Structure 1
Amino acid sequence: MNPGRGRSEKNSPSVFWVLALLILPVINLAVRFKVTDAEKFPRAGAFVMAPNHFSEIDPVLMGVLSWKLGRAPRFMAKASVFTIPVIGWLLRKSGQIPVLRGGSVRGSEPVKAAERLVERGQMVVVYPEGSLTRDPGLWPMRGKTGAVRIALERGIPIVPVAHWGAQEIMPRYSKRLSLFPRKTVLVKIGEPLDLDRFRGRSLDAATLNEATTLVMAAITRLLEDLRDETAPRERWNPAEHDQKETGRFEA
């Protein structure tokens, strides 16, 4: 791949310049990023960025972080956001990918759209948890398989990322922002995961779940370092908790 591709994409005129003009001044005033191991973030070529997810403000923060590190971020985002006037237009023009809630991952249009980004050497941000974590302590919960499917099918790296501090800006499930005083967001970039053991295997549920477990473990270790705490031994499984509380499994 072209080694300067990631950098030239950011430096070329695009709708990202408009987004940066609108978002960066506010975020720069409200947020101080403290990034550990920033050199591990790929500056060129296609890859999947896999962060933890515990606040509605996470995509904005991870988008700004990616831009500051030299890449134009594309996300899988809730389809409902694309119906918002102006915002929806900006999202479509910047290549963000709408995802219908509850939609199937295998062979879905979102995955196909992400694969097109990969073919162009661009990055895609996929939250492996699929939604805000339900873990009471804001630790990563059980992951879904979309991120590893893209990485394995396209033969590209998946880079785990953990961040902490977004809850001080917007608590989980809250719509209220607290921009001032300025907050610090801690970020740690992980090594691209070695998925070689899965390549060439049938991408069935067992393989994808095994690879996803590795991704979630890597994200959790990074978050443990940031929080200087130990995560619970058992990962929160929303399907099991839904069954216990309502007598049904979540699809």
Structure 2
Amino acid sequence: MPSPLRSNRAYRNVARIVRPFLFATTRPDWHGAEHMPTDRGFIAASNHMTEVDPLTLAHFLWDHGHVPRILAKASLFSVPVVGPALRATGQIPVHRETAAAGDSLRSAVDAIAQGECVAVFPEGTLTRDPALWPMVARTGVARLALTTRAPVVPIAQWGPQDLLPRYGKVLRAVPRKKVTVVAGPPVELDDLYDRPQDSATLREATARVMAAITRQLEQVRGEQAPAEAFDMRRRRTEPGAGQA
């Protein structure tokens, strides 16, 4: 298939390696591509269960004509081979709790303004939910969405955890694993655009995005998510947290 128009040479070279690997190890079950805009920049927001999620998400987006600029933790850009590939393909480092923390938001805003697809994992790390349901997310996706007013397309993934378990180090490449990726209609955030970006507004926008992702994942799994999402912040502040 032809490469997306916005791809550069480095991205195409990486795709020539990664796509055959994913086709050899997974059976894609993709739905909802019609919900992704083709005439403007947008945010692709997905759940996060395993370290291979960025590859399966990028595979879905690339094969539907979008070149994802993924928000990835800054430490990955220092890893040999991986770091140079991330930089060459235009991925966006996230510097949390540093003086450069705002750089990732500015880079993502600029990318969307140029019509790019910016891919985010709002939870910021692998879900800690025991059953791999989405957990309470950080508010970065809300800041990006409310600043740019770009469509936020919720995407649910299920199956990458069978290829590489959460915290796993060894791929389970045989037999090929079914990987379902479903994009839904953009999340309704219009009523929040003109409100101050205070903590209440950011939490509301984030909650809507995660609720949309979770609803889609419920449909894929044929199960109901917990009534209350796992919250790492609450667990850290509970009496006895961190004690053996």
Q: Give TM class, smaller chain.
A: over 0.9
Deviations 1:72-96 (A, max 9, x none): 1111111111112232112112111
Call closer, same or farther: CA 1:23–1:206 in 2, change over 3 Å: same
Q: 132-141 vs 29-38, which deviates more?
A: 29-38
Residues 1:196 and 2:190 are matched in the alignment: yes
Deviation, 1:216, is: 0.8
Match of 1:26 in 2: 21
Call closer, same or farther: CA 1:175–1:135 in 2, change over 3 Å: same
Instruction: Note if contact 2:61-2:68 (Cα within 8 Å) is conserved in structure 1.
Output: yes
Aligned residues: 240
2:125 counterpart SS class:
coil
Q: 163-172 vs 91-100, which deviates more?
A: 91-100
RMSD: 1.9
Residues in 2 aligned to 1:170 and 1:245: alpha-carbon distance in whole angstroms? 33
| Structure 2 segments unaligned to the other structure (5+ residues) | none
Of 64, 70, 84, the residue aligned with 1:69 is 64
Match of 1:3 in 2: none
Residues in 2 aligned to 1:199 and 1:51: alpha-carbon distance in whole angstroms? 22
| Structure 1 segments unaligned to the other structure (5+ residues) | 1-5
Match of 1:54 in 2: 49
Deviation, 1:8, is: 2.3
Of 112, 119, 124, the residue aligned with 1:125 is 119
Instruction: Note if contact 2:43-2:118 (Cα within 8 Å) is conserved in structure 1.
Output: yes
Identity of aligned residues (%): 40
Of 68, 83, 95, the residue aligned with 1:88 is 83
Instruction: Note if contact 1:162-1:187 (Cα within 8 Å) is conserved in structure 2.
Output: yes
Deviation, 1:71, is: 0.7
Match of 2:6 in 1: 9
Instruction: Note if contact 1:148-1:158 (Cα within 8 Å) is conserved in structure 2.
Output: no
TM-score under structure 1 normalisation? 0.90
Instruction: Note if contact 2:4-2:62 (Cα within 8 Å) is conserved in structure 1.
Output: no
Match of 2:145 in 1: 151
Deviations 1:137-179 (A, max 9, x none): 1000001111121111111111100010111101111111111
Residues in 1 aligned to 2:70 and 2:240: alpha-carbon distance in whole angstroms? 32
Deviations 1:98-124 (A, max 9, x none): 12354589x711111111111211011
Deviation, 1:180, is: 1.4
Return the letter of the residue paired with 2:232: P
Residues in 2 aligned to 1:198 and 1:20: alpha-carbon distance in whole angstroms? 37
Within-5 A mapping of 1:34-49: 34-49=29-44
Instruction: Note if contact 2:25-2:176 (Cα within 8 Å) is conserved in structure 1.
Output: yes
Residues in 2 aligned to 1:99 and 1:38: alpha-carbon distance in whole angstroms? 27
Residues in 2 aligned to 1:189 and 1:32: alpha-carbon distance in whole angstroms? 17
Deviation, 1:34, is: 0.6
Instruction: Note if contact 2:58-2:68 (Cα within 8 Å) is conserved in structure 1.
Output: yes
Residues in 2 aligned to 1:245 and 1:60: alpha-carbon distance in whole angstroms? 38
1:77 counterpart SS class:
strand
Instruction: Note if contact 2:235-2:241 (Cα within 8 Å) is conserved in structure 1.
Output: no
Within-5 A mapping of 1:150-169: 150-169=144-163
Call closer, same or farther: CA 1:57–1:81 in 2, change over 3 Å: same
Instruction: Note if contact 2:30-2:60 (Cα within 8 Å) is conserved in structure 1.
Output: no
Return the letter of the residue paired with 1:35: W
Return the letter of the residue paired with 2:166: R
Return the letter of the residue paired with 2:118: V
Return the letter of the residue paired with 1:234: E
Residues in 1 aligned to 2:24 and 2:241: alpha-carbon distance in whole angstroms? 47
Return the letter of the residue paired with 1:9: R
